[in-house]
Each structure stands twice: as structure tokens, then as C-alpha cells.
Amino acid sequence: MIEHVNNLEELQAATKEGKVLVDFFATWCGPCKMIAPVLEQLDADPSFEAKIVKVDVDEATDAAMAFKVQAIPTLLLFVDGKATKSLLGFQRKDQIVDFVK
């Protein structure tokens, strides 16, 4: 189940342990709408190695600012609470799987 967080505190709690893929998005963003079903497919795949968390940049401005998100969609990979790498823009399923490995 994809988790939605609404502020920096919730994001920090959600990314504290393990691999977490965070999708910074906005409801009005076209590429964000395109990546949403890809993330839902990955979330339903038991072999996918990360929990997925979504952050609406219009609602959680503190979280977006804390991680200097300037373009959406932005995917950040967290490992045990630390942001380790990022991807910008729409990504195919195979690109996201490779990114998380």
C-alpha cells in the first residue's frame, strides 16, 4: 500500500528504516499522473525492494523544501533514513527498478 505523507515529520518517520522510494508530485502535473500507475504496479509487485511513499509538494511544502525539490515528479531513494539518490521526470517501470537496486 502506497503511503501518503503530508509534512516533513511524517516523511522522516516513513523513511526511517529500509529502502523507501519517495515520489514528490502535484495533482496538476501531467508527468506525475503518468508515473502514478507505474508506482502502483511496483507497489503490487512482491519482488519490488522498496516501500513507496508519495508527497504532494503543494500540501507538504516543508518536505519539498527540505530536500530541495525544484521539479516534479522527483523520485528520491531513502536508505535507513538518508536520501541516497534522485531521479527527475517520468520514468519507466524498468528504470525505477534499476534505480532502487
Give catalytic residue positions. 29, 32
| Helix-strand-coil split of the chain, %, nearest 5 | 35, 30, 35
**Is 56 buried (19+), middle (13-18) or exposed (0-12) by CB count in 10 A?**
buried
